[in-house]
């Protein structure tokens, strides 16, 4: 008789046959920050802070000390600096380049990733430039936006970013950013493309944290329809052909099928982003007392890795490192 249970009989045997192992090296920690002296708790994301620049540098170091190889930076830009053309996105003295330089000076071996998109910088709260017609209908302009994204990516590269991660979902941006970087001799700066980024309702807490929600309309003309799977493959093949170094699926936990399909159709390293709403769901469930936080978080991260992700962007990164040590 076949008895698969023999392989589950003792902890020692289970550890030998385990197919998926989480390690701190799998994690990328997203960090929020602002141009203010205070470190502020983010209401919708218990345990997550919007840091001052000092706090940000300290937190980046704390993550690195736990074995986390990379952080990704999300700035909250002051309202007065937001314009329709998002000029602040490529200001060399802006918040992101200053943060990169400060972190780089103190933690030279930490991998610094930046988000390339206009939503924190443009007064419309969209990832691209907004055009209004006579009736007030809005269009998110593609090619005009791509040009500004190139400027933004160059600004991050000049400040010392290792990887730029376009999250805007404009068409053709990976190729454009790659040639802009190469022309300025930033041939070593990588592109982590948000390949399959869905128009998800699970970004709510993030937009609250950065005050970056669209003022008008939604993001459905550029982010993907949650109903579509094949389209993710199309995006992945295009990003690979355009020169992306790494791909990303976002959100993660509800999109494990997409992670598996993209994994199967591209040989590039694949990241998955466990987004703010997923974090909030798990935190709230744990706070209810009905579910065990450590167990559900490690199970959810393991599932994302098992589906095919090589790297996981997660707000749980530091906590998870602590729990992994206890195992």
In the complex, the residues that contact ligand PBG under the rule CB under 6 A are: 115, 117, 119, 127, 167, 203, 206-207, 219, 275-276
d(CA 289, CA 296): 12
| Closest distance to ligand PBG from the beta carbon of 314 (Å) | 9
Check if 197 is active-site: yes
DSSP string, 227-260: T-SHHHHHHHHHHHHHT-SEEEEES-TT-HHHHH
| Closest distance to ligand PBG from the beta carbon of 203 (Å) | 4
Please give the DSSP secondary-structure letter assigned to residue 51.
E
Q: How many C-beta atoms surround the C-beta of residue 120 within 10 A?
A: 23
Check if 78 is active-site: no
| Closest distance to ligand PBG from the beta carbon of 327 (Å) | 26
227 — alpha (psi -120 to 50), left (phi > 0) or beta? alpha
Q: Which listed residue (82, 197, 283, 318) is catalytic?
A: 197
Q: Which is nearer to ligand PBG, 178 or 219 (CB)?
A: 219
Closest CB to ligand PBG: residue number: 206
Tokens of 309: 């992700």
Tokens of 117: 């998109």
CA atoms within 13 A on the CB side of 16: 7
Residue indicated by tokens 């990328």: 28
Q: Which is nearer to ligand PBG, 127 or 240 (CB)?
A: 127
d(CA 298, CA 301): 5
| Closest distance to ligand PBG from the beta carbon of 275 (Å) | 4
Q: Which is nearer to ligand PBG, 201 or 264 (CB)?
A: 201
Q: Which listed residue (76, 82, 219, 250) is catalytic?
A: 250
- Omega into 251 within 30° of 0, i.e. cis? yes
Q: Which is nearer to ligand PBG, 26 or 115 (CB)?
A: 115
| Closest distance to ligand PBG from the beta carbon of 140 (Å) | 12
Direct distance between the N- and C-terminal alpha carbons of the chain, in angstroms, rounded to an integer:
33
Please report, for residues 68, 105, 195, 273, 310, the alpha-carbon distance to residue 314 in angstroms, rounded to integers and kept in the order given. Answer: 11, 25, 17, 6, 13
From the number of C-beta atoms within 10 Å of its C-beta (0-12, 13-18, 19+), residue 213 rates as: middle
| Closest distance to ligand PBG from the beta carbon of 185 (Å) | 27
CA R_g for the chain:
20
Q: Which is nearer to ligand PBG, 121 or 186 (CB)?
A: 121
Rounded to the nearest 10°, the torsion over CA 149, 152, 158, 164 is -60
Q: Which is nearer to ligand PBG, 244 or 265 (CB)?
A: 244
- Give catalytic residues, as residue numbers: 197, 250
């Amino acid at each position: 008789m076949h008895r698969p249970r023999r392989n589950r009989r003792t902890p020692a045997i289970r550890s030998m046959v385990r197919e998926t192992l989480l390690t701190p090296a799998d994690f990328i920690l997203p960090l929020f920050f602002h141009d203010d002296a205070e470190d502020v708790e983010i209401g919708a994301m218990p345990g997550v802070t919007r840091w001052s620049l000092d706090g940000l540098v300290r937190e980046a170091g704390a993550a690195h000390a736990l074995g986390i190889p990379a952080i990704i930076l999300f700035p909250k830009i002051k309202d007065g600096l937001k314009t329709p053309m998002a000029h602040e996105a490529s200001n060399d003295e802006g918040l992101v380049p200053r943060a990169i330089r400060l972190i780089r000076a103190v933690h030279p071996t930490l991998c610094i990733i930046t988000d390339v998109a206009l939503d924190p910088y443009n007064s419309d709260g969209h990832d691209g430039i907004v055009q209004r017609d006579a009736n007030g209908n809005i269009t998110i302009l593609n090619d005009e936006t791509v040009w500004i994204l190139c400027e933004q990516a160059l600004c991050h590269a000049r400040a010392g970013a290792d990887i730029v991660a376009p999250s805007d979902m404009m068409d053709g941006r990976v190729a454009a950013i790659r040639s802009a970087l190469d022309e300025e001799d930033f041939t070593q700066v990588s592109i982590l493309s948000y390949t399959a980024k869905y128009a998800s309702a699970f970004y709510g807490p993030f937009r609250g944290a950065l005050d970056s929600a669209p003022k008008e309309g939604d993001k459905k003309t550029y982010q993907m329809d949650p109903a579509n799977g094949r389209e993710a493959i199309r995006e992945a093949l295009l990003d690979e052909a355009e020169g992306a170094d790494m791909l990303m699926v976002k959100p993660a936990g509800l999109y494990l099928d997409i992670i598996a399909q993209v994994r199967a159709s591209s040989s590039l390293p694949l990241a998955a982003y466990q987004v703010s709403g997923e974090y909030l769901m798990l935190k709230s469930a744990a706070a209810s007392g009905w579910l065990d936080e450590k167990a559900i978080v490690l199970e959810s991260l393991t599932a994302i890795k098992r589906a095919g992700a090589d790297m996981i962007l997660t707000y749980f990164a530091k906590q998870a490192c602590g729990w992994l040590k206890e195992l």
